[in-house]
Amino acid sequence: MLLENKTAIVTGATRGIGRAIAIRFAKEGCNVAFCGRSRGEKMIAVEQELTALGVKAKGYVADVADMEQAQAFVKEVLVDFGKVDILVNNAGITDDSAVKRMTEEQMDRVMHTNLGSVFCMTKAIQPSMWKQGYGSIVNIGSVVGIAGNYNQANYAASKAAIIGFSKSCAKEFAARNIRVNVVAPGFVETEMTAEVPEELMKTWCQRIPMKRPGTPDEVAQACVFLASDMCPYITSVVLPICGGMEDA
């Protein structure tokens, strides 16, 4: 197993890609602490699913875009699990609109959640990873952060900023054996993309050489690789998981 005896934090793992990452990690022997913004049925179900795979797992309520909550979350995980080897910053939102109709509030909210959460969680985890001289941080970006997209200027900007932030952290943390990489999914079928009208979805799929959306588990497998000791010399990369979309 690729992640045996390791402990990971996965943000936003009550559903979608985060949930798939948590499950893949557990299958690789990793203990998993994860969060969402409320302790609903979904969080409890993920907790049970992970525990059934034979690892230690716990769901926490935390808005990771809030510095105090991010700090408290990491502190609690360190008490409960003893250490954190891997951080996957997966929590993210969309609030799509053409720029001419986009409000300042829409811009701020998406930047605050998507980039702010990566900043808050990185700040919160950095001291313990620094002290242990080991860590792998995987930030979930998007191909849209590389290529841009119609009606997603706020989201694309937040994901592009995650790349710049991650590459800077990779440089700052490398001397302490802490790697920082970005996984950039293309179009993945989750609740986030469920709102996309069917016609638009067909158009998007036509642009994908593999002619289909990706699955959350296909993103999760890339996260296992980057989180694991299979790639001790890989840091500061952006890995697109997008079925070969040309503009990615």
Q: Which residues belong to the active site?
A: 155
Half-sphere exposure for 139 (CA within 13 Å, toward CB): 34
- Name the CA radius of gyration of the chain, rounded: 17
**For ligand NDP, which is the closer residue by CB, 33 or 140?**
140
Task: Give the separation between CA 107 and CA 192, rounded to whole angstroms.
Answer: 18
Contacts of ligand NDP in 90-119 (CB under 6 A): 90-93, 113, 117
Under rule CB under 6 A, how many of the chain's residues touch ligand NDP? 31
Binds ligand NDP by CB under 6 A, chosen from 18, 59, 135, 240? 18
Binds ligand NDP by CB under 6 A, chosen from 126, 142, 152, 228? 142
CB 187 within 8 A of CB 145: no
Task: Give the separation between CA 109 and CA 94, rounded to whole angstroms.
Answer: 9
- Distance, C-alpha 231 to centroid of its chain: 18
Contacts of ligand NDP in 49-68 (CB under 6 A): 62-65
- CA distances to 21, 71, 90, 104 from 17, rounded to whole Å, are 6, 23, 8, 28
Asked if 16 interacts with ligand NDP (CB under 6 A), we say yes
> In whole angstroms, how close is the CB of 232 to ligand NDP at the nearest point?
25
Report H helices in 133-233. 144-147, 153-173, 191-194, 198-207, 216-227
> In whole angstroms, how close is the CB of 42 to ligand NDP at the nearest point?
7
The binding track of 172-211 with respect to ligand NDP, each residue x by CB under 6 A or -, is -------------x-xx-xxxx------------------
Binds ligand NDP by CB under 6 A, chosen from 37, 58, 83, 109? 37
At 182, list the tokens. Answer: 């970005």
Task: Give the separation between CA 169 and CA 129, rounded to whole angstroms.
Answer: 13
Exposure string over 180-194, b if 16+ CB within 10 A, otherwise e: bbbbbbbbbebeeee
Nearest to residue 131, comparing CAs of 177, 89, 88? 177
> In whole angstroms, how close is the CB of 17 to ligand NDP at the nearest point?
4
**For ligand NDP, which is the closer residue by CB, 7 or 142?**
142
**For ligand NDP, which is the closer residue by CB, 90 or 126?**
90
**For ligand NDP, which is the closer residue by CB, 115 or 129?**
115
Binds ligand NDP by CB under 6 A, chosen from 10, 50, 118, 140? 140
Strand partners, 37: none
**For ligand NDP, which is the closer residue by CB, 43 or 129?**
43
**For ligand NDP, which is the closer residue by CB, 201 or 231?**
201
Residue carrying the six token digits 């053409």: 98
The total number of residues shown for the chain amounts to 248
Binding-site ranges for ligand NDP (CB under 6 A)? 11-18, 35-38, 62-65, 90-93, 113, 117, 140, 142, 185, 187-188, 190-193
